[in-house]
Amino acid sequence: AAAAALGLLPLGKTQSPESLLDIAARKVAEKWPFQRVEERFERIPEPVQRRIVYWSFPRSEREICMYSSFNTGAEDPAIALGGAVAG
């Protein structure tokens, strides 16, 4: 109520703090690929795995478009996909 009165939060909206699990999972996802986390640690509890995977994906539409486009820079599709060129 005091935060809303100070104009920090919209009136009628409450904000709950982020969980320690989410904060830690987000920080891990920002620094390391999930595959490296799996290789490094023998046992990762499933809830922790799920949150790391969740935070590993991009959030904005621009980032999603950027990471979803597959472009290797090669002009020949056979070379780009690692196929042999008949000749």
- The total domain count for the chain is 1
* 85 assigned to some structural domain: no
* 54 assigned to some structural domain: yes
Residue 39 lies in domain? 20-67
Cβ of 74: how many Cβ atoms within 10 Å? 11
* 42 assigned to some structural domain: yes
* 37 assigned to some structural domain: yes
Q: Output b/e per residue, 14-25; b: 16+ Cβ within 10 A.
A: eeeeeeeeeeeb
Q: What percent of the chain has pLDDT over 70?
A: 63
* 33 assigned to some structural domain: yes
Share the mean pLDDT of the chain.
Answer: 76
Cβ of 37: how many Cβ atoms within 10 Å? 19
Give the pLDDT confidence score for residue 26 in this predicted structure. 94
* 39 assigned to some structural domain: yes
Give the pLDDT confidence score for residue 68 in this predicted structure. 72
Q: What is the pTM of this model?
A: 0.55
* 29 assigned to some structural domain: yes
